[in-house]
Amino acid sequence: MKRITAILFCVLLACMNAQAQRKVKLKVLEKGTEQPVIAATVVYADNEALQNLQGSVTNVDGLAELKIPSKKTYYYKISYVGFVPATGKIEATETEKTVYLEEDHLGLNEVVVTGSRTARPIKMSPVTTQVLGGKQLVEAGYSNLQQALQQETPGLNIQKVGFGNEISMQGLDARHVLFLMDGERMTGDMAGNLDYERFNLHAIDRIEIVKGASSTLYGSRAAGAVINLITKKTTKPLSIDAGVRYGQMNERNYKNPQPKDFLYMFEKNADRPNLQGWVSAGFKAGKVTSQTDAWYSSSDAFYMYQAENDKKVYTQEANPFLPHDITVVNSSSRPPMGIEGKEHITVSQKLYYDPTDDLSVLVYGSTFFMNTYDLIQDMTFSQARDWTAGAKLTYHVKDWFSVTGSLHADFYDRFKRHERIDTRNKDYESSIWQPRLTITSNYFDGHSLIFGVEHTSDELTSDRFSGNANHDLKTRALKETEYFLQDEWTINPKWMVSAGLRTNFSKAFGFMGMPKIAAKYSPNERWSIRANYSMGYRSPSIKELFFNWDHLGMFMIRGNENMQPEKNNYFSLGAEYSNDRLFLSGTAYGNYFRDKIEGVWRIYDMQYNFEYTNLSKQRLLGLEALLRWHVLDCLTLNGTYSFVNVSKNEGIQVNTTSPHAATASLDYKFTKKNYRLNAVFSASYMGRKKFDVQDRVFVEEDNKSYDAYFRCDLPQYVLCNLSVSQTFYNKVKLTLGVDNIFNYVPKTLGSGITMFNVPATPGTRGWVQLEFMLDDVINSLRKKK
């Protein structure tokens, strides 16, 4: 009888509890368009501090169902990437509520991982980090990653050159800028530059940029900056985006090529359409999440012409032995320079499996294939392919610590392909293997600890090594093992300190230790002051040591087997201010190098040579500023400025960086129900460049020739772009744009080393882009049924 009574009592108690609960329908919409925000995270609790949280996720209608006790007020917080988090309360009598999320125009609510390998809000990071949202970059009308980075990052310059792209940042070239994809290294670089076409802008969730010597966590090659591309991971049950873009041709080189023509393939490839197409698809089903991205792009080759004959000025400043400045004007005009056309495709796949709250597994892979078409009628063109694969496993041991093990591999090949015969010859093969083990812990109050060990095995096979007269394929290898330890200590709400040490060991160059310390002081919610010191280290790459490559008789790249690793000390001090409408930041820095590895231009026997050498010292001082101002609800102004001063080497300016660079953009948005208009006008400024190139000059007074340096003086320029997009019902977006509105074309090609120092633009070109949010279309069709 007692047992039956107890059972009845429990049933009655459960019924009373069920009656005491109410279901609240919380609807989340985008402000302005009133479109549902799908997969937004909703957390709620019975206290304003949001402790002991419950959670839910919005469905395809933007609805989240909350179970809340009756006659009790609850508090909520709603967050979604790209929007300002919304907080509020649900009164005791409410059963339905609609919340509107506003776009995060200033990007102050982003979560970053690059500075510490630990996810934390950008305001809480002791390391200055710039975040670029992938969605915002696509909406701005950028056609590729290079264009987006050039416009949005102060002090960064990417130029399309004769054989690819050339990047520089804060006075340092690509060999000091470490590109990562989801935190992993890539291979296949040329003079430090990767095939940047392999990065699918439409697959990027955000880009995190950490400047300075970030060697504590990322090792060699991070003396200038780390650029980490974080790819998409869908949070929706289904997400499918697709698009196509068509641009005006750069130049029509051949009209109506016919298959019977001997040069048919050459003529056809030189005039491929400026066309892009992409698909981004993902789904989330229980414990499994999948993300697939594919992108195809092609562009045509074109010529650049010099308006005047070459003029070289041999200055007394660079050549004290000269009796006076000597000006030499070439009697013949410079032939046009061909800019290659390209056709490439990239496909990537990521698969996540989260069987428990403590265990997560990721496996991934990608492939990239590219044809490069030049304007040289030698019956060949270049091909490149790349494969990446890896796996990552993370296990949480209670609340003590987390262990992450990963294995990453990247394989890159380059070929010469015959245009008429189905044959190709491999001339370049590069691969890296990188296993890593990291342990992170937040167990100790106020401390975020990370310890890790990683090994990098880097191999390069090429016919371009020194001492290889027969041009046979030879293999060279470098192996490094590195340990790192870092602690981020939150002393109190105002003070935060990060300190770390990384050690590097290689058989070729021995042992090296690199300390780092950074501090952040926030007197209030609006102000932050950051200071940083870090020691950088970079061992010479295989190419810098052993390369010996003649590029079609235009120039030589020469390695130097006697080079030593370079070391640098980086100091920075910065401040930032933010409120609801304004974000301002400024940073001053100094970068001091010893044994700096530098590529120096010299001329021997009428041929340009790019030779690697160790400079005894080099000093870089700089200042950067960034502005985001939400002037009106519909108007946002963005601006950046960068200044860098690079020391001379025995009176010679070997660094080709412009001291001044700036960007600006004006973003106008108009929204109403089921419609969005977005117009972006952007401009990028590159200041005047002056640097010295070794050559030989005849002095009439002595009736003799001397080795001397001429001053390469390139003018400043501004490139402006405009894009206007319209989005209908959050399902279809139409964008029209014009690049280089004011038709800037360089008038000088830089006295022989053009491909590294002037913008390779054919002038004003228009384009049209059409995008489809197919998952929203599918959801609409389901509702109608």
| Higher pLDDT, residue 603 or 746 | 746
The answer to which of 493-502, 601-610, 611-620, 729-738 has the lowest mean pLDDT is 601-610
Q: How confident is the model at residue 13 (pLDDT cuts 50, 70, 90)?
A: very low
Average pLDDT over residues 313-331: 88
Per-residue pLDDT for 5 more than 70?
A: no
Average pLDDT over residues 13-26: 64
Q: Where are the beta strands (DSSP E) in 265-400?
A: 274-285, 288-299, 302-304, 311-314, 326-329, 337-339, 341-356, 359-373, 380-397
The span from the CA of 776 to the CA of 773, in Å, is 6
SS3 percent helix, strand, coil of the chain, rounded to 5, is: 10, 60, 30
Average pLDDT over residues 71-90: 86
User: Taking the CB of residue 253, how many other CB atoms lie within 10 A of it?
Assistant: 18
CA dihedral (498, 115, 525, 641) positive or negative:
positive
Closest CA to 590 of 617, 613, 563, 559: 617
The span from the CA of 126 to the CA of 123, in Å, is 8
Statement: the pTM of the whole predicted model exceeds 0.85: yes
Average pLDDT over residues 269-287: 93
The answer to which of 69-78, 355-364, 538-547, 661-670 has the lowest mean pLDDT is 538-547
Average pLDDT over residues 212-223: 68
Average pLDDT over residues 282-305: 93
CA separation (Å) from 628 to 141, 294, 583? 19, 32, 5
pLDDT at 16 (0 to 100): 46
- Report the CATH superfamily, name and number, of domain 111-784: TonB-dependent receptor, beta-barrel domain (2.40.170.20)
- Most confident region among 292-301, 422-431, 459-468, 710-719 by mean pLDDT: 292-301
* Look-up of token digits 């590029």: 551
Q: Is 135 helix (H, G, I), strand (E, B) or coil?
A: helix
C-beta pairs of 504-509 under 8 Å, 24+ apart in sequence: 504/219, 504/220, 504/480, 504/537, 504/539, 505/480, 505/481, 506/478, 506/479, 506/480, 506/481, 506/539, 507/479, 508/478, 508/539, 509/539, 509/564, 509/565
Reading the block at residue 122, the tokens are 């950008």
Per-residue pLDDT for 416 more than 50?
A: yes
pLDDT at 12 (0 to 100): 47
Per-residue pLDDT for 378 more than 60?
A: yes
User: Taking the CB of residue 141, how many other CB atoms lie within 10 A of it?
Assistant: 26
User: Dihedral angle at the C-alpha atoms of 631, 633, 634, 640, nearest 10 degrees?
Assistant: 30
Residue type (1 letter), 316: Q
Q: Share the mean pLDDT of the chain.
A: 85
pLDDT at 563 (0 to 100): 84
**689-703 pLDDT per residue, tens:** 888 888 888 888 888
pLDDT at 8 (0 to 100): 52
Provide the β-strand partners of residue 603. 608
The span from the CA of 368 to the CA of 388, in Å, is 9
pLDDT at 275 (0 to 100): 96
Per-residue pLDDT for 609 more than 80?
A: no
Annotate 694-762 with DSSP letters as a single string: EEEEEETTTTEEEEEEEEEEE--EEEEEEEEEEEETTTEEEEEEEESTT----S---TT-GGGTS----
The span from the CA of 529 to the CA of 520, in Å, is 6
Domain ranges of the chain: 2-101, 111-784
Average pLDDT over residues 177-200: 84
pLDDT at 710 (0 to 100): 86
pLDDT at 387 (0 to 100): 95
Looking at 3.30.565.10, 3.10.20.30, 2.60.40.10, 3.40.50.300, the CATH number of the domain 2-101 comes to: 2.60.40.10
Average pLDDT over residues 170-183: 84
Average pLDDT over residues 225-231: 89
Average pLDDT over residues 235-255: 91
Residue type (1 letter), 717: Y
**568-608 pLDDT per residue, tens:** 899 999 999 998 889 999 999 999 988 888 777 776 656 66
The answer to which of 284-288, 367-371, 598-602 has the lowest mean pLDDT is 598-602
| Higher pLDDT, residue 215 or 548 | 548
The span from the CA of 712 to the CA of 659, in Å, is 14
Per this entry, what is the length of the chain?
A: 785
pLDDT at 305 (0 to 100): 85
C-beta pairs of 604-611 under 8 Å, 24+ apart in sequence: 607/553, 607/555, 607/556, 608/554, 608/555, 608/556, 608/752, 608/753, 609/555, 609/556, 609/557, 609/558, 610/191, 610/555, 610/556, 610/557, 610/558, 611/558, 611/560
Average pLDDT over residues 540-554: 73
